């Protein structure tokens, strides 16, 4: 009852500073492991690189769980489940992609399907942004340029790229964070495709950039979904306090926003 009365009065058991500190502490392992992994790539330490890669998604999951503990409202159970299943599938993709590329692609394809469903359920009133349709010429360009070099992998890579493009389009139903994360994901996988199937982008810097874009992509997508639930809670509190509807633009990114990335 005490917790309910605090929420009804707009009070909080802990201030914003406490919540920020808790969130930063929760993300510290993920940021540290990611930094060590990127350094290991540049310094050619394969054992450390493999060990830290296997720890990235679990530490991101820990960070998101810590953030949810301090949130006034979390997404619906099905949305949260899809988020963490997507992260788990991504982790399986991480640990299998180098040795068994077809299996790794399958895990990531399943992860993107989870994210598509997650965006649909988390942002039911959202519509894809017009600029997100750039995913279509990106997909065609990738197939034309990389396709002739794929051999027996052509069907798998084409199917994966198509689902990745749909995920990117659907991410714009949400917030600027989910859209930015999807754009980084597309960038990461584009670099990876050229490194894996063509003689281009073989420099160590590009090898590092694959993960330097992938890691924030996952974090931004997840944070954007969690933040949308917190924004909805803030809007509900504002409406209860004022007794009248409040413009959603005051408390969250509008679903019709058209963020631009240069």
Residues contacting residue 52 through CB under 8 Å, at least 6 positions apart: 33, 34, 36, 37, 40
Indicate the range of 45-54, 72-81, 82-91, 244-253 predicted with least confidence: 244-253
Give me the residue label for tokens 């997100």.
132
pLDDT of res. 20: 62
pLDDT tens digits, residue range 139-181?
999 999 999 999 999 999 999 999 999 999 999 999 999 999 9
pLDDT of res. 6: 37
Provide the percentage of residues in the chain whose pLDDT is more than 90. Answer: 71
pLDDT of res. 242: 54
pLDDT at 108 over 70: yes
Give whole-number Cα distances, 3 to 10, 244, 259, in Å: 11, 24, 37
- Say if residues 161 and 142 touch (Cβ distance below 8 Å): yes
């Amino acid at each position: 009852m005490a917790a309910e009365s605090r929420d009804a009065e707009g009070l909080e058991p802990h201030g914003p500073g406490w919540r920020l500190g808790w969130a930063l502490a929760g993300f510290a392992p993920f940021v540290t492991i990611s930094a060590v992994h990127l350094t290991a790539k540049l310094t050619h330490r394969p054992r450390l690189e493999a060990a830290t890669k296997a720890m990235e998604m679990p530490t991101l999951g820990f960070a998101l769980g810590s953030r949810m503990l301090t949130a006034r409202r979390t997404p619906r159970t099905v949305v949260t489940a899809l988020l963490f299943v997507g992260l788990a599938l991504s982790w399986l993709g991480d640990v299998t992609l180098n040795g068994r590329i077809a299996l790794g692609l399958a895990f990531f394809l399943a992860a993107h399907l989870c994210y598509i469903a997650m965006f649909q359920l988390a942002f039911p009133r959202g519509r894809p942004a017009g600029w997100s349709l750039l995913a279509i010429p990106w997909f065609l360009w990738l197939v034309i340029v990389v396709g002739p070099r794929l051999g027996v992998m052509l069907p798998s890579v084409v199917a994966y790229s198509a689902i990745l493009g749909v995920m990117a389009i659907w991410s714009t139903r949400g917030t600027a964070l989910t859209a930015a994360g999807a754009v980084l994901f597309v960038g990461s996988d584009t670099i990876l495709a050229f490194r894996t199937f063509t003689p281009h982008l073989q420099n160590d810097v590009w090898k590092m950039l694959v993960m330097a874009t992938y890691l924030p992509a996952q974090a931004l997508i997840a944070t954007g979904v969690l933040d949308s639930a917190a924004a909805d809670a803030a809007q509900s509190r504002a409406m209860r306090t004022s007794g009248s509807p409040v413009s959603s633009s005051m408390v969250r990114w509008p679903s019709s926003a058209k963020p631009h990335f240069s």
